[in-house]
Structure 1
Amino acid sequence: MAWLVCGRWTKWVVLGLWVVVLAIAGPLAGKLTGVQSNDNEAWLPGAAEATQVADLQARFGPDDIAPAVVVYESDAAVTPADQAAAKEAVARLQRVPGVEGQVTGPVPSQDGKALQIIVPVKFDEDGWEKLADVADDIKTAAGTGTGLDMHLAGPVATAADSAEAFEGIDGTLLYTTLAIVTIILLITYRSPVLWLLPIVSAGVALITAQAVIYLLAEYAGLVVNAQSAGILTVLVFGAGTDYALLLVARYREELRRHHDRHEAMALALHRAGPAVIASAATVAIGMSCLILAEVNSTSGLGPVAALGIVVGLLAMITLLPALLVIFGRWIFWPIRPREGTPEPTATGFWARLGTRIARRPRTVWIATALALGAMSLGLFQLKADGLPQAEQFVNTPSSVTGEEALARHFPAGQGQPLVVIGASGQSAQIRAAVAATPGVSEVGPPVTNGDLVMYEAVLASAPDSDEAMATVERVRDAVHPIGDAQVGGMTAMVLDINNANSHDNRLIIPLVLLVVLVILGLLLRAVVAPLLLIATVVLSFAAALGVSALVFRHVFGFSGEDTSFPLYVFVFLVALGIDYNIFLMTRVREEAQQHGTRRGALIGLGATGGVITSAGIVLAGTFAALGSLPLVAFAEIGFAVAFGVLLDTLIVRSVLVTALTLDIGRVIWWPSRLARHPDSPAPVSPAPADRDRLIESTIIPPS
Structure 2
Amino acid sequence: MRWITGRRTKYLILLLWAALALPLASHASEIDEVMRNDLTQFTPAAAESSRVRDLVARSSRGRDLPAVVVFARDGGLTPADRAAVDAAVPGAEPVPSADGAAAMVVVPIDAASEDVVYQRVKDLRQRVREGLPAGLTVAVTGPAGGYVDGADAFVEADLTLLLVTVGVVAVFLIVIYRGPLLWLPPFVAVVLSAGMSQGAVTLLARHAGLVVNGMSSGVLTALVFGAGTDYALLLIARYREELHRTEDRHEAMAAALRGALPAVTASAVTVAAGVLCLLVADMRSSASLGPVAAVGVLCTFLTVTMLLPVLLLVCGRGAFWPFIPRPGRRIRHGVWEGVGRRVARRPRAVWLVTVAVLAALCLPLTGAEAGIPGSDAYTAPPESITGQRLVSAHFPAGASAPAEVLVRPADRGRAAAVAAGVTGVAAVRQDGAVGDLAGLRVTLADPPESAAAERTVERLRAALGGVPGALVGGQTATAVDTAAAQRHDLLLVVPLVLLVTLAVLVALLRSLVAPLLLTATVVLSFGAVLGLGWTVFHHLLGFPALGYDAILLGFVFLVALGVDYNIFLTGRIREETAVGGDHRRGVLRGLSLTGSVITGAGLILAATFSALTILPLVWAVQFGVLVALGVLLDTFAVRSVLVPALLLDLGPHSWWPVRPGARGGGVAGRRTDEAVGPVPGRR
**TM-score range for the pair, normalised by the shorter chain length:** over 0.9
Residue identity opposite 1:550 in structure 2: T
How far did residue 61 of structure 1 move? 4.1
Counterpart for residue 682 of structure 1:
none
Residue 599 (str. 1) matches residue 588 (str. 2): no
CA deviation profile, 1:117-162 (whole Å, cap 9, x unmatched): 2222234634454356234324324x53254332332223222322
Counterpart for residue 3 of structure 1:
2
TM-score when scaled to structure 2?
0.94
Counterpart for residue 169 of structure 2:
181
- Going from structure 1 to structure 2, the CA distance change for 1:442 and 1:216 (only over 3 Å counts) comes to same
Instruction: Please report the RMSD computed on the Cα atoms of aligned residues, expressed in angstroms.
Output: 2.1
Counterpart for residue 565 of structure 1:
550
Alignment check: 8 A CA contact 1:528 1:668 kept: yes
Counterpart for residue 66 of structure 1:
65
Alignment check: 8 A CA contact 1:282 1:575 kept: yes
How far did residue 633 of structure 1 move? 1.3
- Cα distance in 2, alignment partners of residues 587 and 453 from structure 1: 66
Alignment check: 8 A CA contact 2:240 2:677 kept: no
Residue 615 (str. 1) matches residue 601 (str. 2): yes
- Going from structure 1 to structure 2, the CA distance change for 1:256 and 1:676 (only over 3 Å counts) comes to closer
- Cα distance in 1, alignment partners of residues 541 and 673 from structure 2: 46
- Cα distance in 2, alignment partners of residues 133 and 158 from structure 1: 12
How far did residue 257 of structure 1 move? 1.5
How far did residue 36 of structure 1 move? 1.2
- Cα distance in 2, alignment partners of residues 317 and 146 from structure 1: 63
Counterpart for residue 686 of structure 1:
none
TM-score when scaled to structure 1?
0.92
Alignment check: 8 A CA contact 2:243 2:677 kept: no
- Going from structure 1 to structure 2, the CA distance change for 1:189 and 1:372 (only over 3 Å counts) comes to same
Counterpart for residue 89 of structure 2:
90
Residue 662 (str. 1) matches residue 656 (str. 2): no
CA deviation profile, 1:6-41 (whole Å, cap 9, x unmatched): 211111111111111234213433322111111111
- Cα distance in 2, alignment partners of residues 482 and 627 from structure 1: 46
Counterpart for residue 297 of structure 1:
285
Alignment check: 8 A CA contact 2:652 2:659 kept: no
Tell me which moved more, 80-89 or 47-56.
80-89
How far did residue 492 of structure 1 move? 0.9
How far did residue 340 of structure 1 move? 2.9
How far did residue 75 of structure 1 move? 2.4
Counterpart for residue 342 of structure 2:
356
Counterpart for residue 700 of structure 1:
none
Residue identity opposite 1:629 in structure 2: L
Residue 390 (str. 1) matches residue 398 (str. 2): no
Counterpart for residue 147 of structure 2:
159
Matches within 5 A, 1:34-433: 34-61=33-60, 64-91=63-90, 103-105=92-94, 107-123=95-111, 125-127=113-115, 129-130=118-119, 133-141=122-130, 143-145=131-133, 147-345=135-333, 348-385=334-371, 387-433=372-418
How far did residue 695 of structure 1 move? 5.0
Tell me which moved more, 22-31 or 318-327.
22-31
Alignment check: 8 A CA contact 1:206 1:236 kept: yes
Counterpart for residue 503 of structure 1:
488
Gaps of 5+ in 1: 95-102, 678-688, 698-703
- Cα distance in 2, alignment partners of residues 696 and 587 from structure 1: 16
- Cα distance in 2, alignment partners of residues 135 and 199 from structure 1: 44
* Structure 1 residue corresponding to 2:421, chosen from 436, 439, 445: 436
CA deviation profile, 1:578-612 (whole Å, cap 9, x unmatched): 01101111121222232322221111111111111
Residue identity opposite 2:12 in structure 1: V
How far did residue 693 of structure 1 move? 6.7
- Going from structure 1 to structure 2, the CA distance change for 1:382 and 1:5 (only over 3 Å counts) comes to farther
CA deviation profile, 1:431-466 (whole Å, cap 9, x unmatched): 222222221111122311552111111111111111
- Cα distance in 1, alignment partners of residues 135 and 541 from structure 2: 36
Tell me which moved more, 632-641 or 202-211.
202-211
Residue identity opposite 1:425 in structure 2: A
Counterpart for residue 666 of structure 2:
none
Alignment check: 8 A CA contact 1:440 1:459 kept: yes
Alignment check: 8 A CA contact 2:419 2:425 kept: yes
- Going from structure 1 to structure 2, the CA distance change for 1:130 and 1:90 (only over 3 Å counts) comes to closer
SS state at 1:446 partner? strand
Residue 628 (str. 1) matches residue 614 (str. 2): yes
Tell me which moved more, 204-213 or 580-589.
204-213
Tell me which moved more, 492-501 or 592-601.
592-601
CA deviation profile, 1:152-203 (whole Å, cap 9, x unmatched): 3222322232232212433122111111111110111111222121121112
Counterpart for residue 513 of structure 1:
498
- Cα distance in 2, alignment partners of residues 155 and 27 from structure 1: 36
SS state at 1:443 partner? strand
How far did residue 676 of structure 1 move? 9.8
How many residue pairs match? The answer is: 670
- Cα distance in 1, alignment partners of residues 596 and 374 from structure 2: 44
Counterpart for residue 20 of structure 2:
21
CA deviation profile, 1:338-373 (whole Å, cap 9, x unmatched): 23322332xx21111111111111111111111111
